[in-house]
Chains A and B, each alone.
Chain A
Amino acid sequence: MHTAAAELARFQPASDQSLLVYFGQQITPEAHQHVMRLLRLLGLEPVTGIRNLHPAYCSLLIQFDALKLGHDDLKAILRPYLDRLEDVHLPDPRRVEIPVCYGGEYGPDLNEVAAMHSMTPAQVIELHTSATYEVYFLGFVPGFAYLGELPMALVTPRLATPRRRVPVGSVGIAGNQTGVYPFATPGGWRLLGRTPTPMFQPNRSAMSLLSIGDRVRFTPITQEQFAALENS
């Protein structure tokens, strides 16, 4: 007797040392719950030979030691895990507030985004701060959280030409997602503002401010508050 999660799961080899587990091909809360549960179960009861896990919206990429395991070995090991997913207890989501100074030099795309949606910049800020976002996963670079979903009225395509260097702490939107750049990196998201809160600190015990499953809200701050927080 297989559970819904086990029925839904589909295996796809990605390389000779990795296997993708898909829970459907749509971004749904159920699919993401399955991803988080499998990630948690594999964390609580680790499998010898699994070297790394990369969760995403509706999939988990499992990287393994190909000298110890093959795809079929891993599938056989995973099936009982999948059968138990419904019983996995996920902790209550943490709630995290991120202060953001919107517009000006910190949010160089705010005015353009407003114009694209026939809104005022203040309305864009109000919409962006009105929603509670879920951390779907961290990817791209250390500590970069994919947050969803943006209010429909703010859904905006990414820049046609990515910036070569996005300043650290920049808060951007792309498609129906939003996120904060933890490092100065290239990037194609449209920048609405910037946070003084470090997203990734190697000398902090949690290192990444955000983890998969967290609930995030953005709160507007002034330039003076930004400066005070940055120096604190």
Chain B
Amino acid sequence: MTPIQVKSAGLLTTVQDLGREGFGPMGVSASGAADPIALRLGNRLVGNADGAAGLEMTLLGGTFSFPHGAVVALTGSDFAVTLDDVHVGLWTSIKISPGQTLSLGHTRSGARCYLCVRGGISVEPFLGSASTHILSGLGGFEGRALRKGDMLNIGPATESCRKRKLAQWAREAFAPRKLLRVTPGPQVDWFPESSLQSFYSGRYRVAEESNRMGLRLEGSPIPADSGGEMITEGVSLGAIQVPEGGLPIILSVEQQTTGGYPKIANVISVELPSVGQLRPRDEIRFELVDWDTARRLLQEQEQLLASKELILG
């Protein structure tokens, strides 16, 4: 197997794919890449299937050496990447010669950068997925974030290596947004008009205590009316739940599977990758759309992803 040596791991670097489905009855959430579009595009740039495992880095990237070389692509946010001290760009395949070192620094844009490798990162799947579930220590590489000194394996590649890059129009089409479109949450009726007005007119700031489970927001409190007794129920990805204090929380990929707080809204599917790119202190706003719009936007996104002009080369 071809190795990757972890010289430094960065702030929080984990093995992720597109997550595991179907284990809700055991309390297992999907996990997977917080920005799944970036992972999918990165995999296509190196000739992998969309769901191959890559490395997800958070705010500060790691340093990796490739004793036998590799073909890689970096996608998502720009973490100031260099290959043997020469700057390299995102959204393109990069041929790494044996012994070269890839270094990532601090983010210059959003929260997460993905390193995809031709052949994918090879780990023992857990419940059908390579994704790391950090809280329970399951999946990924030994169920944990990478550390200095770890040695990863690259899987066998199926396609020949050809230089590829993402079309400029696609970079713009998939750019993360700060105005998040949402649909009504299942308990929207529990919120008084004043809370709804604050929610849709105000700005919210992503709090420091945000992670792959959820993003805590700071801004105008939007309490639900008191009196309703919430019975714990299943919660969906992107749900915006509002605990007693009135400050909303957006549930992210490593979410709890059930919850007992009322939900005012839910981020629409096409905007979930944008949630994965939010950093602490980022400011966001919310815009209500109807169900048909949410569905149409998702179909349009998949059409763009299916375009023959998406990847050049």
A residues bordering B, Cβ < 8 Å?
12-18, 20, 25-27, 39, 51-61, 63, 66-67, 70-71, 137-144, 146, 182-183, 185, 200, 202, 207-208, 211-212
Residues of B within 8 Å of A142, CB to CB, are 23, 26-28, 133, 136, 138
Instruction: Say yes or no for B234: interface residue by CB 8 A criterion.
Output: yes
Residues 286-302 of B, flagged 1 when their CB comes within 8 A of A and 0 if not, give 00000100110011001
Taking the complex as formed, is B192 at the interface, i.e. its CB lies under 8 A from any CB of chain A?
no
B residues bordering A, Cβ < 8 Å? 21-28, 30, 126, 133, 135-138, 183-186, 231-239, 256-259, 263, 266-269, 291, 294-295, 298-299, 302
A207 cross-chain contacts in B, Cβ below 8 A: 26
Contact B269 A16 (CB under 8 A): yes
Please measure, in the bound complex, the distance between the C-alpha atom of A4 and the C-alpha atom of B194, giving whole angstroms.
Answer: 38
Give the CA-CA distance A54 to B186 in the complex, in Å.
Answer: 15
Which residues does chain A contribute within 8 Å of B238, judged by CB atoms? 15
Q: In the complex, which residue of chain B has the Cβ closest to the Cβ of A212?
A: B25
Interface contact B234-A66, CB-CB below 8 Å: no
Is B185 a contact of A14 with CB atoms below 8 Å?
A: yes
Selected contact of A51 from candidates B21, B232, B302, CB within 8 Å: B21
B21 engages A141 (CB within 8 Å): no
Considering the complex, give the chain B residue whose CB is closest to the CB of A22. Answer: B233
**Sampled A-B contacts (19; CB under 8 Å):** A14-B234, A16-B183, A16-B295, A20-B186, A52-B30, A56-B231, A57-B232, A61-B233, A63-B237, A66-B269, A67-B299, A137-B25, A140-B27, A141-B27, A142-B26, A142-B138, A143-B26, A183-B137, A200-B26
Question: Cβ of A67 and Cβ of B232 under 8 Å apart?
Answer: no
Residues of A within 8 A of B257 (CB): 54, 138-140
Q: For A139, what are the chain B residues with a Cβ–Cβ distance below 8 Å?
A: 27, 232, 234, 256-259
- Is A58 within 8 A of B294, CB to CB? no
Q: A146–B26 contact, CB under 8 A?
A: no
Question: What 3 A-B pairs come out closest when comparing CB atoms?
Answer: A61-B234, A54-B234, A139-B258
Cα-based distance from A12 to B231 in the complex (angstroms)? 15
Chain A residues lying within 8 Å of B24, measured Cβ to Cβ, are 52-55, 61, 63
Give the chain A neighbours of B183 by CB distance below 8 A: 13, 15-16
Given contacts A14-B266, A59-B234, A141-B136, contact A52 B256 (CB under 8 A): no
Is there an interface contact between A55 and B25, defined as CB atoms closer than 8 Å?
Answer: yes
Determine the residue in chain A with the shortest Cβ distance to B143.
Answer: A202
Nearest to B22 among chain A residues (CB) is A52
Give the chain B neighbours of A54 by CB distance below 8 A: 24-25, 233-235, 257-258
- Please give me the residue from chain B that is nearest to A58 by CB atom: B231
* Contact partners of B239 in chain A: CB under 8 A: 14-15
In the assembled complex, the CB of B25 is this many whole angstroms from the nearest CB of chain A, namely 6
List of B residues within 8 angstroms of A59 by Cβ: 231, 233-234
B298 touches A56 (CB 8 A): no
Bound together, the chains give a CA A25 to CA B185 distance in angstroms of: 17
Closest-by-CB residue of A relative to B265 is A15
Instruction: Assess whether B236 is in contact with A61, with CB atoms less than 8 Å apart.
Output: yes
Taken together as a complex, chains A and B put the C-alpha atoms of A70 and B292 apart, in Å, by 9
B268/A60 in contact, CB under 8 A:
no
A14 CA to B23 CA, complexed, in Å: 19
Q: What's the Cα separation between A31 and B233 when bound, in Å?
A: 13
Closest residue of chain A to B263 (Cβ to Cβ) is A14
A residues less than 8 Å from B133 (CB atoms): 142
